[in-house]
């Protein structure tokens, strides 16, 4: 497993250590989704190490996302976020998929957000960018499916990450859980388990699908 990071190398190394502890092969690569040269280098490093790329998970987003009302969004900020997210996914897939095509097998998994469907307030650039990823994924499914490459989206809502546990008050988390049909907030493991399935041979023919992992929260609006 190749684990990418933008600035938090220590966090990436910690994840790689966990993979090694269970017998996996893992290393870390610096990756900037807004820099095409960085993307090219990261993809080539993986190919040089393993000879191919079997599974690509696009999970990166800008680290400085913040809520901002629509009327206050500046054009430069809009372009930075929308283009940064969409262009990064586009270029990473375009650079990586030839190795999958040559192997007649591959899995592309793009991590999205329920913001793309429910219209999260004050998150217009992010929601727009993620909705675009849905469209791109469906095109990839149509164009690449015959080469043995399956492309899908995993769409979480709020996830109980360490950051959210620190920043979102418990009362707010409880309110979100109450609004969720399953009465549970999605955990990182919920997301990871779905990614593992979609990226494995067990996924024999799921292609071009937006898979929610929200406990049904995306159905509430």
**pLDDT value of position 219:** 85
Residue 164 lies in a domain: yes
- Confirm whether 13 is domain-assigned: no
Q: Is 4 domain-assigned?
A: no
Assess if residue 24 is contained within a domain: no
pLDDT at position 34, please?
Answer: 92
Domains in the chain: how many in total?
1
Residue 84 forms part of a structural domain: yes
pLDDT for 102: 97
196 DSSP assignment:
H
In a domain, 185, yes or no: yes
What's residue 64's pLDDT? 82
pLDDT of res. 221:
61
**Residues with a known catalytic role:** 126
Amino acid 65: pLDDT: 85
Please indicate, yes or no, if residue 9 is contained in any of the structural domains: no
Question: What local confidence, expressed as pLDDT, does residue 163 receive?
Answer: 87
Domain hosting 72: range is 31-219
* Residue 22 falls inside a structural domain: no
What does the pLDDT profile of the chain (221 residues) look like in tens digits?
Answer: 999 999 999 999 999 999 999 999 999 999 999 999 999 999 999 999 999 999 999 999 887 888 999 999 999 999 999 999 999 999 999 999 999 999 999 999 999 999 999 988 999 999 999 999 999 999 999 999 999 999 999 999 999 998 889 989 999 999 999 999 999 999 999 999 999 999 999 999 999 999 999 999 888 76
CATH code, domain with 203: 3.40.50.720
């Amino acid at each position: 497993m190749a684990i990418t990071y933008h600035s938090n190398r220590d966090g990436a190394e910690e994840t790689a250590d966990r993979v090694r502890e269970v017998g996996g092969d893992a290393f870390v690569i610096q990756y900037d989704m807004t820099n095409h040269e960085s993307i090219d280098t990261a993809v080539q490093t993986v190919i040089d190490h393993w000879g191919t790329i079997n599974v690509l998970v696009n999970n990166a987003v800008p680290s400085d996302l913040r809520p901002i009302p629509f009327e206050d969004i500046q054009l430069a900020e809009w372009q930075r976020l929308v283009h940064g997210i969409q262009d990064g996914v586009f270029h990473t897939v375009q650079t990586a998929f030839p190795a999958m095509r040559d192997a007649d097998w591959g899995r592309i998994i793009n991590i999205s957000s329920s913001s793309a469907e429910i219209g999260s307030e004050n998150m217009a650039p992010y929601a727009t960018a993620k909705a675009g990823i849905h469209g791109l994924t469906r095109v990839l499914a149509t164009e690449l499916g015959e080469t043995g490459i399956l492309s899908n989206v995993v769409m979480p809502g709020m996830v109980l990450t360490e950051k959210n546990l620190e920043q979102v008050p418990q009362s707010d988390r409880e309110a979100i859980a109450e609004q969720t049909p399953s009465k549970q907030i999605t955990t990182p493991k919920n997301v990871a388990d779905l990614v593992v399935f979609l990226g494995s041979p067990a996924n024999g023919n799921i292609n071009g699908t937006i898979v929610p992992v929200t406990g049904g929260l995306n159905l509430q609006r």
